[in-house]
Amino acid sequence: MSSGRRGRISDDEINEFISKLQALLPESSRRRNASRSSASKLLKETCAYIKSLHREVDDLSERLSGLMSTMDNDSPQAEIIRSLLR
């Protein structure tokens, strides 16, 4: 689609990418613009963010599994699951 030769578009796209990245990262780390802070810092924060999301998924998996192990077919939780799946 893109021939890769349009310099103007590449500026905009990079800009968009950087701002998306900034918008994505949690509030607390969004204090400076990418134009001021180093790109390295931005990417470092991205790495940290992904790592923290992984940890959250692990933690949530653990908690969910704990909940589910106490569920039996008659429990309200099971009914919730059944109705969510209808």
Partner 1 sequence: MSCSPPCSSSLVGGMSAGSKKFRHAILKNLLLGLRKGGAASSSRGMSLHERRDAVRHAADAALASARGATPRWSRALVAELSSSQHGRRRPTSWTDDAHHLVDVPATSARPSGQCKSSPPCKMVMAGCKKMISRRRLRARPKSSATARAAGAVARVMARRRARVLREMVPGGRGMVDECTLLGETLDYAVSLKAQVDAMQLLLRTLQAPKNPLLKPQQ
Half-sphere exposure of 64 (CA within 13 A, CB side): 7
Residue 32 in contact with partner 1, rule: CB under 8 A: no
Output the CA–CA distances (angstroms, integers) from residue 48 to 14, 19, 25, 55, in the order listed. Answer: 21, 17, 10, 11
Residue 28 in contact with partner 1, rule: CB under 8 A: no
Residue 45 in contact with partner 1, rule: CB under 8 A: no
Cβ proximity of 45 and 25 under 8 Å: yes
Residue 68 in contact with partner 1, rule: CB under 8 A: yes
What is the binding site for partner 1 (CB under 8 A)?
A: 1-7, 9-11, 13-18, 20-21, 24, 33-36, 38-40, 42-44, 46-47, 49-51, 53-54, 56-58, 60-73, 75-81, 83-85
